[in-house]
Amino acid sequence: MRARPALALAAAGSAATTAASLAFHMPAADAIRLAAIAVAGAVGVGVLGTILLLVLRRSAIGVQVAVVALVSVAAVGLGALAAARAMFISDPSSSVTASAPPAGRWER
């Protein structure tokens, strides 16, 4: 990717993150920090996927497509998991939150 489209994409992502943080009354610095954590995790998985594709460059196209699909899902998943873990103070908080019922009142 060339520098100009990459910078435009980064600027658009930063603007969207800032807009979302303002919409949900979250400090923009916290939102940018969470986005940076998610991006770092996704880039890490992407680098590993690139290395794996280089190793498999003589493999069938179906294998390469499967690797690209799995790496994409893993990158998003790891980025989201890393950002979610950064929002909790300790591991018990995340386990309680994962097992808690949805917030809100159930009315009849």
Sort 31 into a burial class: Cβ within 10 Å, 0-12 / 13-18 / 19+: buried
d(CA 80, CA 42): 9
Tens-of-pLDDT digits for all 108 residues of the chain?
688 888 998 889 888 888 888 888 888 788 888 888 888 888 899 999 999 999 999 999 999 999 999 999 998 888 888 888 887 755 665 555 455 455 455 454
Which H/E stretch holds residue 55? Answer: helix 28-55
What pLDDT score does 58 carry?
Answer: 94
**Six token digits for residue 55:** 């190793």
Which H/E stretch holds residue 108? Answer: none
The DSSP secondary-structure symbol of 102 reads P
d(CA 6, CA 76): 19
